[in-house]
């Protein structure tokens, strides 16, 4: 919100500067038109050229700023599209507990990373300023080599790659004593079922048991772990996942969020209606036509192609914005 306000103030200041320079250019041209002296006309020509260049520069800055503001409005609107069951389940757990792990899963191109960022940015933004550990498990070529997982994790937390698990757990725990900690394991589908079970049993379980003792003494910090499955296979594995929050749930049990499915025409219709003020007119002027185009060019609502098509229709490049919008 504050960033948007700053951008609007900057645009207002640029527009005022643009108006002043435009008025100056108008007067210079008037003076040039009535001036007879050759030397003075030459001097006015140079001033007009310089002023035109300044005006063009300001115009480019204004156009770029307008695009940034437009992209920002579109981003805020996209944060409201779909994933309602996922956000509701996530909110229930994190509002009740400061420690939790979540499985985000679905088929390829179903927006797993988008959902991860959406959940954190919207509901626990303070975590982004804490300690973030990102581990891309596709780097581990041998799916059944759990030792490779521990070496990768040890290196990512700043320890020797041969460090025992107990030291890795202690390092993460000590971080959590003074700040929020976010652990993200991308591509958990690259692990074997046994290796992922080892990660939960030998790392997450002792970490949460250690952390829960501190929570009982009151903690203001979050300790969150995300397991991101881009293939949609992990949910069927025989792992100790919870799906609903109840009185018996404990943080050492990872939460399996709902599987990600395609966006429906009804979801798109409601979203276009409720986000009309933040979307380009050409998207909301003919809603049925817009939905037909989006569904046709997204293989019937597959999330990532859908997001990309909405951006295209809004004169925004999804691929250029992706790394700006997806901070995790």
pTM beyond 0.85? no
- Residue-wise pLDDT for 44-62, tens only, equals 888 888 888 887 887 787 6
Query: Angle at CA 110, nearest 5°, toward 141 and 198?
Result: 40
- Of 61 and 169, the structure prediction assigns the larger pLDDT to 169
- 2-78 — its CATH code? 1.20.58
DSSP state letter for 242: B
Q: What percent of the chain has pLDDT over 90?
A: 58
Res. 129: pLDDT tops 80: yes
Span 52-93, pLDDT tens digits:
888 788 778 767 777 667 778 899 999 999 999 999 999 999
Q: What is the pLDDT of residues 255-285, one digit of tens each?
A: 999 999 999 999 999 999 999 988 989 899 9
What is the residue extent of each domain of the chain?
2-78, 84-256, 265-325
Query: Tell me, what's the pLDDT at 4?
Result: 65
DSSP for 68-114, written as a single string? HHHHHHHHHHHTTSS-HHHHHHHHHHHHH-SEEEEEEE-STTS-HHH
Whether pLDDT at 132 is above 70: yes
User: How large is the average pLDDT for residues 153-177?
Assistant: 92
Which one of 40-49, 243-252, 298-307 scores highest in mean pLDDT? 298-307
List, as one string, the DSSP characters of 247-273. Answer: TT--TTS-EEPPPP-PPPHHHHHHHHH
Q: Residue 32: beta bridge partners?
A: none
| C-alpha to C-alpha distance for 197 and 203, rounded to whole angstroms | 10
Coil, helix or strand at residue 41: helix
d(CA 246, CA 270): 31
Given a contact cutoff of 8 angstroms between Cβ atoms, the answer to whether 117 and 182 are in contact is no
Task: Give me the mean pLDDT over the 219-226 stretch.
Answer: 89
d(CA 284, CA 294): 13
pLDDT score for 21: 78
Question: Which of the four pLDDT bands, split at 50, 70 and 90, describes residue 218?
Answer: low
Where does the pLDDT of residue 8 fall: very low under 50, low under 70, confident under 90, or very high at 90 and above? low
pLDDT band at 15 (very low <50, low <70, confident <90, very high): confident
pLDDT at residue 296 above 60?
yes
Q: Find out whether 172 and 157 touch, Cβ atoms under 8 Å.
A: yes
Mean of the per-residue pLDDT values for the chain? 88
Can you list the positions of beta strands (E) in the chain?
99-105, 131-136, 181-186, 223-229, 255-256
Say which CATH topology domain 84-256 has: Rossmann fold (3.40.50)
**Residue the block writes with tokens 């997806």:** 326
Output the pLDDT for position 258.
95
Q: Residues 19-46: pLDDT tens digits?
A: 887 888 888 888 888 887 888 788 888 8
Give mean pLDDT, residues 130-151: 82
């Amino acid at each position: 919100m504050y960033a948007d306000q700053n951008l609007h103030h900057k645009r207002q200041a640029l527009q005022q500067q643009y108006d002043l320079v435009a008025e100056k250019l108008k007067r210079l041209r008037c003076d040039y038109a009535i001036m007879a002296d050759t030397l003075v006309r030459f001097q006015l020509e140079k001033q007009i050229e310089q002023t035109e260049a300044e005006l063009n520069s300001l115009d480019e800055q204004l156009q770029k700023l307008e695009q940034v503001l437009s992209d920002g409005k579109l981003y805020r609107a996209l944060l409201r599209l779909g994933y309602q069951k996922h956000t509701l389940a996530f909110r229930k757990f994190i509002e009740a507990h400061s420690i939790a792990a979540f499985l985000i899963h679905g088929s390829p191109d179903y927006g797993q990373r988008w959902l991860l960022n959406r959940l954190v940015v919207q509901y626990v933004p303070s975590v982004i300023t804490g300690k973030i550990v990102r581990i891309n498990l596709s780097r581990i070529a041998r799916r059944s080599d759990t030792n490779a997982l521990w070496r990768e994790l040890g290196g990512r937390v700043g320890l020797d790659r041969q460090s025992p698990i107990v030291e890795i757990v202690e390092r993460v725990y000590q971080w959590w004593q003074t700040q929020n900690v976010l652990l993200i394991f991308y591509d958990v589908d690259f692990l074997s079922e046994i290796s992922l079970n080892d990660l939960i049993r030998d790392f997450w379980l002792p970490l949460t048991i250690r952390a829960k003792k501190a929570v009982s003494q009151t903690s203001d910090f979050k300790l969150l772990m995300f397991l991101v499955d881009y293939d949609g296979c992990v949910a069927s594995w025989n792992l100790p996942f919870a799906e609903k929050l109840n009185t018996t749930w404990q943080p050492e049990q990872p939460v399996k969020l709902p599987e990600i499915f395609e966006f429906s025409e009804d979801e798109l219709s409601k979203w276009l209606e409720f986000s009309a003020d933040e979307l380009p007119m050409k998207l909301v002027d003919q809603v049925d036509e817009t939905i037909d185009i989006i569904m046709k060019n997204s293989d019937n609502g597959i999330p990532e192609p859908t997001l990309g098509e909405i951006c295209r229709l809004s004169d925004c490049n999804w691929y250029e914005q992706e790394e700006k919008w997806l901070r995790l």
